[in-house]
Copies of this chain bind each other. A is one copy, B any other.
């Protein structure tokens, strides 16, 4: 039965077998616990009960493993499409609050933080990567593409639905989303990336989300939406 299941799983997610996904899960755990330095080929092999040879067969080299970790984790986030029809004022507000909380939850997740740290740590300012080293901002691109852009699309569709319903007013949806993002996140993400305990910040998430949505509606709401 294995072949059928494995091929199905391979088709389901970015071209990896279940075994490989289990390995990636172990690698992610190592990354979360010990940072990038802890993700050694030998360490991953030991933690996942597989051989280094298999690692190199599956992922090519260490960079391939790191990329696969990001792709794998990014593939997990399922962007819940919001049904935009029949959007009322209170419904929009609730959807915005839910989005704000989801965003803060995602950004404060241990795995998300660890992967962002990893991608940022790999990033190099100048156009470095002389020769074959082509993994310059690749990981960063991957994260941005699969993470931020996905969740951003959910927000922009919601915003555009609000505009279509005559509840919001803006010219550029992306710009409005940027404002919403800034109001929600401020510098919380960066502070968590720098080591600030997420648990401490999580206690303020609800209030922070409410205030952000209220401010956003003050800026972009139409008529009664712009109340406090």
Spell out A's residues near B (CB within 8 Å).
32-36, 110, 113-114, 116-117, 119-126, 128, 136-137, 140-141, 143-144, 148, 175, 178-179, 181-187, 189-191, 193-196, 211-212, 215, 218-219
Once bound together, how far apart are the Cα atoms of A195 and B122, in whole Å?
9
Tell me the number of copies of this protein.
2
Distance in Å from the Cβ of A54 to the closest Cβ of chain B?
A: 27
Evaluate contact between A117 and B110: CB separation under 8 angstroms. Answer: no
A121 with B124: in contact, given A186-B179, A190-B190, A215-B179 (CB under 8 Å)?
A: no
* Residues in B whose Cβ lies below 8 Å from that of A36: 121
Once bound together, how far apart are the Cα atoms of A144 and B194, in whole Å?
8
Contact among B32, B144, B219 with A215 in the assembled complex (CB-CB below 8 Å): B219
* Residues in B whose Cβ lies below 8 Å from that of A32: 125-126
Contact among B120, B125, B186, B218 with A120 in the assembled complex (CB-CB below 8 Å): B120
Contact among B34, B117, B179, B211 with A183 in the assembled complex (CB-CB below 8 Å): B179
Not counting A33-B126, A120-B120, a sample of 8 additional A-B residue pairs whose C-beta atoms are within 8 angstroms of each other reads A33-B128, A34-B128, A116-B194, A120-B193, A143-B194, A179-B186, A179-B215, A185-B187
Query: Considering residues A148, A195, A211, which has the most beta carbons from chain B within 10 angstroms of its beta carbon?
Result: A195
Once bound together, how far apart are the Cα atoms of A185 and B113, in whole Å?
19
Evaluate contact between B35 and A119: CB separation under 8 angstroms. Answer: no
**Nearest CB in chain B to that of A121: its residue:** B121
**Nearest CB in chain B to that of A208: its residue:** B178
Leading 9 A-B pairs by shortest Cβ distance: A137-B195, A121-B121, A140-B194, A182-B182, A182-B186, A140-B195, A35-B124, A123-B195, A178-B186
Distance in Å from the Cβ of A35 to the closest Cβ of chain B?
A: 4
Evaluate contact between B123 and A110: CB separation under 8 angstroms. Answer: no
Once bound together, how far apart are the Cα atoms of A215 and B190, in whole Å?
22
